[in-house]
Structure 1
Amino acid sequence: MPELPEMETYLTGLTPRVCGHPITDTEINREKSINVPVAVWKESLIGLSVTRIERRGKHLLFHLPDEKLLLLHLMLGGWMFWGTEEEKPDRTVQVQLSFGSKHLYFIGLRLGYLHLLSDADAQHKLAALGPNPLELSAQQFRNLLLARRSTIKAAFLDQRFLSGIGNCYTDEICFHAGIRPDRRIHDLSAEEVSNLYDSMKTILTKGIASGGYMENPLYTGDRLTGGFNELCQVYDRGGERCNRCGDTIVQTELAGRKLFYSAGCQR
């Protein structure tokens, strides 16, 4: 599932390509991916231009005139591609927005959605999201973390705690900090809490700079998207050797979610 760095990569890549250009057409191949009848969808969107794109957690908000917007959550398996009909990947497209000869394809929206909402309705829908982890001070992070009564993994996956972090970056943050993600928060020392904060900032910043871990390019010639995949130290590397200590990377589960850590160098 795309997380904060992946959605930031989409935001950066799409803003100069989409914003300011009128929507000339739209196609819906899966009506469950949108929230209004297709006729209403087309009548509401065609002719409008996206004024700006904003990220909130794992969501993107495509702002439109008259305080309307498109709220996107890709969920598991969802991704986007920007290009011409000839460049389009050979994949099933659930929703398509056309901007002249270029199109924005929404692919894999079996669980995800693209909803047309008023700005007020979108803000209400997102009201329960926690703060942006990159905007927190060390003290704010400490206060939020120590108020939780769970494992690190469970806390980071709860979008009411911090918005935008999921499975991959939780495990990578914990590896960078040298702490197992299944540690109980109340067992952490003050130094370990500080290390988690520093690692969170480091890993998320690195994830954004390297284009996240999703491998599907956003457009033809895209050389940024997916660059973090090769930088992952533990995620999806169960059974391999740790690059830091040489011990085995453990793959297990916690509350039904995959969990990866190095047996040798994570406390």
Structure 2
Amino acid sequence: MPELPEVETIRRTLAQHVTGLEIREIKLIWSSAVCGWEDQSFEYLVTGRRIKTIDRRGKYLLIRLDEDLTLIAHMRMTGRLNYYAESQEPEKHTHVVFQLEHGEVHFSDVRKFGRIQAIPTQLCISGSSLCKLGPEPLEAEFTPEVLKERFGKKTLSLKAALLDQHVLAGLGNIYVDESLFQAGISPERGVDTLSEEEISRLHGAIRNVLQAGIDAQGTSFRDYRDANGEKGSFERALQVYGRGGEPCKLCGQALERIRLAGRTTVFCSKCQR
């Protein structure tokens, strides 16, 4: 958390407030939350720059500044970017405050795993971990044939393959479990066992579930909020994630909860073959 739908929601809600604004000052409360470029500090690079656009790649936010600088923000597990129209006293876990010509953006992270890196825009892909990401699952170029190609000759489980950001960008535990349930395929299946029809079904399920997550503005169990501090509502539509031991909404059989690919995994052994 956050996964693709949550990061996309943050992108949209943040862009509404900050596009075109100048970053007047950076207040670093925990300096390890940011990273400059080579021998130039984060504050030096960012102060005085204007926010042009905000893009997304997988689970990363790409905040494009003028003079060819990009901020790559990764929320990891508990990171947040919140916009405030007025000056706001930083909360306990706020690590960076971006003071804009109108309002402020606070970067907070309870578990301190999230980071914001400043990097020249022309090196944004080649000079960062973004270069290793798989395709965007909601792009038109992502087809069943591309999914099959990304699986290649791997023999690992579907759960492990779909969590791998090198295979496909943006999916995490929530949306993998939900996609596999909608596709009717067990997370324990090896990727090399899927038929053409099953790959096509899984492709459609991934796109459907992610779009539904975006439409609901993400899933808020604990920490996730959009840039306005609002919760998402996709948890109301969850079919399996977080429901281990509860009855399947399709067949009534108790959902199984296992450990797979290092993550808690919930599925229906009757509906998911």
- TM-score, normalisation: structure 1: 0.91
Instruction: Provide Cα deviations, 1:163-183, integer angstroms capped at 9, x if missing partner.
Output: 111111110000001111121
The alpha carbon displacement at 1:24 in A equals 1.9
Q: Which amino acid aligns with 2:112?
A: R
- Check the 8 A contact 2:76/2:113 in 1, yes or no: yes
- Residues 153 and 192, structure 2, Cα contact 8 Å, conserved in 1: no
Match of 1:40 in 2: 41
State whether structure 2 residue 129 is matched by structure 1 residue 129. Answer: no
- 2:225 is matched with 217
Partner of 2:8: 8
Q: Cα distance 1:145–1:160, how it changes in 2: closer, same or farther (>3 A)?
A: same
Amino acid at match of 2:107: F
The change in CA–CA distance for 1:111 and 1:246 in structure 2 (over 3 A counts) is: same
Matched residue, 1:162: 168
Percentage of pairs with the same residue: 32
Could you tell me which residue of structure 2 aligns to residue 262 of structure 1? 268
Counterpart contact for 2:10–2:227, Cα < 8 Å: no
- The 3 A distance-change label for structure 1 pair 74 and 45 is same
Task: Specify the alignment match of 1:66 in structure 2.
Answer: 67
| Structure 1 residue 123, shift from structure 2 partner | 1.1
- Number of residue pairs matched by the alignment: 265
| SS of residue matched to 1:127 | helix
Per-residue CA deviations over 1:40-68 (Å, capped at 9, x if unaligned) read 32232222111011101110110111211
Unaligned runs of 5+ in 1: none
RMSD: 2.2
Q: Is the 8 A contact 1:2 1:214 kept in 2?
A: no
Letter in 2 for 1:68: L
Q: Cα distance, 1:146 vs. partner?
A: 4.2
Tell me the CA shift for residue 76 of structure 1: 1.4
SS of the counterpart of 2:61?
strand
Match of 1:151 among 129, 151, 157: 157
How do residues 177-188 of structure 1 correspond to structure 2 at under 5 angstroms? 177-188=183-194
Distance 1:158 1:219, change over 3 A: closer
| Other structure's SS at 1:196 match | helix
Q: How many angstroms apart in 1 are the aligned matches of 2:249 and 2:3?
A: 24
> 1:199 matched to which residue of 2?
205
User: What 5-or-longer segments of structure 2 have no aligned partner?
Assistant: none
C-alpha distance in 2 between matches for 1:19 and 1:177: 38
AA in 1 matched with 2:225: P
Give the 5 Å matches for 1:225-244.
225-244=231-250
1:201-221 CA deviation, whole Å, 9 max, x = no partner? 111111111111135433558
For the structure 1 residues 210 and 88, does the alpha-carbon distance in structure 2 shift closer, same or farther, using more than 3 Å as the test?
farther
Residue 86 of structure 1, CA deviation:
7.0
Aligned to 1:29: 29
Tell me, in whole angstroms, the C-alpha distance in 1 between the residues paired with 2:36 and 2:148: 42
Distance in 2, matches of 1:230 and 1:103, equals: 32
Distance 1:238 1:260 in 2: 6
Contact 1:87–1:220 (CA<8 Å) still a contact in 2? Answer: no
Find the residue that maps to 2:49 and give its secondary structure.
coil
Residues in 2 aligned to 1:255 and 1:204: alpha-carbon distance in whole angstroms: 21
